[in-house]
Amino acid sequence: MAKVCVSAYVYGLVQGVGFRYSTQHQAKGLGLTGYARNLDDGSVEVVACGPQADVDQLIEWLKQGGPKSARVDRVLTEPKAAGEYSDFSIRH
**Roughly what angle, to the nearest 10 degrees, separates helices 52-63 and 19-29?**
150
User: What's the pLDDT tens digit per position in 11-45?
Assistant: 999 999 999 999 999 999 999 999 999 999 999 99
Catalytic residue among 20, 37, 71, 91: 20
Q: How far apart are CA 18 and CA 38, in angstroms?
A: 11
pLDDT, the chain, mean: 95
Strand 33-38 with 71-79, pairing: unpaired
Instruction: Tell me what pLDDT residue 82 has.
Output: 80
In this structure, the strands spanning 71-79 and 3-13 are antiparallel
Walk me through the domains of the chain, giving residue ranges and CATH numbers.
4-82 (3.30.70.100)
74: annotated active-site residue = no
Residue 91 known to be catalytic = no
